[in-house]
Structures are given as C-alpha cells and as structure tokens.
Structure 1
C-alpha cells in the first residue's frame, strides 16, 4: 500500500475538495474510515475540547497531541493531517514537532502564523507573528521531515488581523518558503474564498466551522473553485455534544432512556465502531 503521506499528497493534488472530517479521538476516526472517507484531520481544537474540557486557546501540548496521533494512527489506515498549532514554539520547536508528529503516524502537519498562545481561528482577539518568522518555521518543518511527501500545510490567520491582502501575500511567501499547501483561515465572503483557490498556485484547504465566521460552501462549489480539501474539523464533536446533552438531559428529567432511544447507537453499531469482530478473530487465532 502507498505510504500515508504519499496518499495525502495525491488527495490534495487532485483539487477535488475532498471532504476531510475532524477526528478528536480514535473512536471517531474509526467511524470516519468505516463510512468511506479518504482521509481525516486530527483537530487540535477537538482534542483540546474533548480531552482537556477547555477552549481552544493554546492549552494543549505537543506531547499530548503526539499521543493522540499515535493512538489514532494505530487504529485506522487512512492518511491523517494533524493540527500542529504554531509548532509549539520557535523554528527549533517546530523542527521537533514535525519529527515527533511524523514518527507518531501523521501524514502531514498544519502550522499557523498566530502568536503563541494561539486561539481558535474563529475567535476574536487573535494576533499574528511577522511573516519572516513564519517562513523560518516552514523551512525548519521542511528540513525536519523524513519523508519528502509528508505534507506541510501553512495556515495564515492574517485576514482577521490585517485583512485579505496581507493574508494572500503571506500565503504566496509561505509557498515560496516550501509549504506544500496553504490554508487561508476565516474568509468571510464567497469572493475571498474563490480568490484564495484561484490565485494561490498550490492546493488549498477550505475550513468550515459551524457557527464560525466563514459562510458555508458545498463540496461541488469548492471543487469548482479548485480547493484541495474541505475541512470539517469539529462537525463530529458538535454532533456528539448535542446528542450527549439531549440524551443525558432527558435521562435526568424522566429517569428513562425510552423517549430518546432513536438517538442512541445500537449495541451492534457500538461494537462495530471499535472493530470487536477483529478482536474476536484474534482470540480464536491465539486460543
């Protein structure tokens, strides 16, 4: 089988706006693979929310993310693009982050040009580092990777800080520095979304956050624009959160799950999601 990094590179190069759901844990990654998605994204915001129970404001550590990568990469075969935040420090820290992520099983890393500690791309109050500093992080990332197909995705959050022109200039410079893909975060209108895909010469990531700053665009339109992937980093998390809230709220109110049975996965679905059949086969083989 082709290496995960090579597969991710090929997926993004097709510019077919391949849907890339976010996986904050191995269970959700299993579901993503079982449904037939070609790739998945290990979301820093999702891991932060589900593992630490806190907002995406730069509190997750590199080692905590690496642990999640290793667990998820061990349970699925699809390539994983992983959130690397700001590289967790300067270019030297970024070098170590890339080495660690790649060793843990990532097929690519997303790095962003926010100040540390970073914030969710759809929060207010963000700041960005000078473009020259981000360029050095990109160069460090390129030097650090062991597999030349390991994808370096350079994200800029400059739209919210300095506007679209600075964001586009930064993206061009990041490409010149060695980024394989760029990711212009949080455009607020369709004109800017189309411009990103049209003017930048490498594949692009479109990120949709339900309730965030960027308007929804369906996959057919993103494909027409030429995006490499449509990222839905926290759709699974938001769906799960709503379901948990509704089901446990009803249980507290009525003392029963009977009225919300249709919102519960069956016992069989649950076991399929964790591949229990594979483990049953192993037990037979080694008994």
Structure 2
C-alpha cells in the first residue's frame, strides 16, 4: 500500500552488490510510477528513468530543456513506488560542477540508487542523433569528480556516460572512459557503440561495470540479454521501450475510436480493470481503511 518499504540505502546496497557479482541487470525505462510497479511485478532487476522519456512526458524534445528539479521530482515519484533500485539519466548534470554536485544530492534525496552524467556539451541532444558535440576532457572529468564529491551516501552509484564514440571514434571513447574511471566513476555508459565487436573491445579495455543501451531506432544493434551477459556487460537498459509501446497503442486506439465510433473492439488489447487494481493494491488500501475505522483502544 502507498509506497515501497525498501529504503533508498538498501536499494543502493543491493545495486552495488549485484554489480559486484558480475551478473547482467535488466532495467526497463519507466515512463511513470505505475509502469515502475509493473516492471517490478514482471521480475526485472531495476528501473531506469530516461531523460528523453521525462522530456517527452512533458511534451518536449530531448535537447536539454528539462530542469534538474523536474528530473529529480519525476525520478522520486518513480523510485518510491518500487523496491527495485532506480538509475536516473542526469544528462550533463544541469550546469557547472557545483550544479552537478547539487543535482546528485537532489537525486539522493529523491531516493534513487544512482545516476549517470554525460560528456556532451550543454544543451545536449539524443545520443543516437547525428551532430552531437562533446566537451573537452577536463570538463568531463570535473563533472564526474563533482558528482563523486557531492554525494553523501557512498553507495550512491555515479556512472559516467561518454558520447565520444560517435564524435571521435572507438579508441578515443575508450581513452575517455579510462580517464572518467580515474576521476572516480563507479561505472561507465559508452553511448552508441556499433555492434558486438565494439562492445567486446570496450569491455576488454575497461574494468568497471558497463552499461549497454538497447534503445530502438538508434545507432546500435539490438542484442539479447544473453549476448550482453556473454560479453560481460553488467546493466542493460531499455530506456524508451515502454513509452513507445504505450504511445503506439494509444495512437492505434484513438484511430479505432475515430473510425468505428466506439472502443468496443479494443477491449482485448487493454489492461483489465482487475489487473490495474492488483497493480495499485486496491485490496491493501481497503484493509488499511477497515483497520483504522474498526480500531478501538
């Protein structure tokens, strides 16, 4: 009932422990708090909050228009609904190094387990679009160092994302990742690697946990969890998958209503009322309410 009972500290410790085991953790992207509950109910390992999804949810493109407050607020709404650890896209940290530190502390307060900070210029753009620009190495390292120094809980995961591959090539991306690790990054997110060979080369060069981004319609190949586990990757995210599925179904449903004048033919494609009630724990609220009103000292 209400929110998850697992503490933020416990979620962070769980994420750290599971990453240390070397297993592959599967983190679908939640587009709202309800979808986070569904991710947990289906047995996934964690929840991801995509900056692109937060922007799209506000009706905005993914070009750095969202604020740190908007991201922290949405991430907190999602994280409190699940016992799973939540990893959040913190874009470029929303400003200079001091702003990055403040962003990390806001995300700690929101109850998430970790975040990633990227090395694109600000304002950034989607990592799978052409025309990206990255900052110089000193600026990238300052962002990561600020995040590390800013966190108050040492179990909060600071992941560094690098977009260098699409701008300067694979070797330069590996060099950047090594420097980010030296600056204190706990894990690395190499964005827009192309195919198995590049993923394998990157894994061989970097000795901290690595994240693979399996986003649709992007630069890379969509690999299976088994393939990624065999390569030695530690986290796989499906950042926009649920939003795309939901919006695709919504668009088709609206077209049907326009064409047929009723939603009757769509019923077998909907989540049933009973399934929704189970997901939001209607029964638990009823038991709580009855217990309070029946209570006598």
Secondary structure of 1:85's match?
coil
Per-residue deviation, 1:24: 2.1
8 Å CA contact 1:250–1:256 kept in 2: the answer is yes
Counterpart in the other structure of 1:54: 60
RMSD, matched Cα = 1.2
Q: Deviations over 1:131-185 (max 9, x none)?
A: 1111111111111111111100100001111111111100000001100000100
TM-score, normalising length: structure 1: 0.96
- Count of residue pairs the alignment pairs up: 286
- 1:141 maps onto 2:147 in alignment: yes
Q: Distance in 1 between matches of 2:286 and 2:71?
A: 30
Give CA deviations for 1:244-280 in whole Å, capped at 9, x if unaligned.
0111110111011222222111011122222222222
2:248 aligned partner: 242
Which 4+ runs in 1 deviate beyond 6 A?
none
**8 Å Cα contact 1:182-1:204 kept in structure 2:** yes
1:189 equivalent to 2:195? Answer yes
Where 2:286 maps in the other structure, the secondary structure is helix
Structure 2 partner of 1:17: 24
1:189 CA displacement: 2.1
Query: Structure 1 regions of 5+ residues with no counterpart?
Result: none
Q: 2:272 aligns with which of 266, 271, 276?
A: 266
Of residues 276, 280, 289 in structure 2, which corresponds to 1:283?
Answer: 289
Compute the displacement of 1:57 (Å): 1.0
Instruction: Write the mapping of 1:1-287 to structure 2, written as runs, cut at 5 A.
Output: 3-50=10-57, 52-287=58-293
Q: SS of 1:152's equivalent?
A: strand
1:198 CA displacement: 2.0
71-80 or 1-10, which moves further after superposition? Answer: 1-10
* CA distance in structure 1 between the aligned counterparts of 2:161 and 2:81, rounded to whole angstroms: 28
Q: TM-score, normalised by structure 2?
A: 0.93
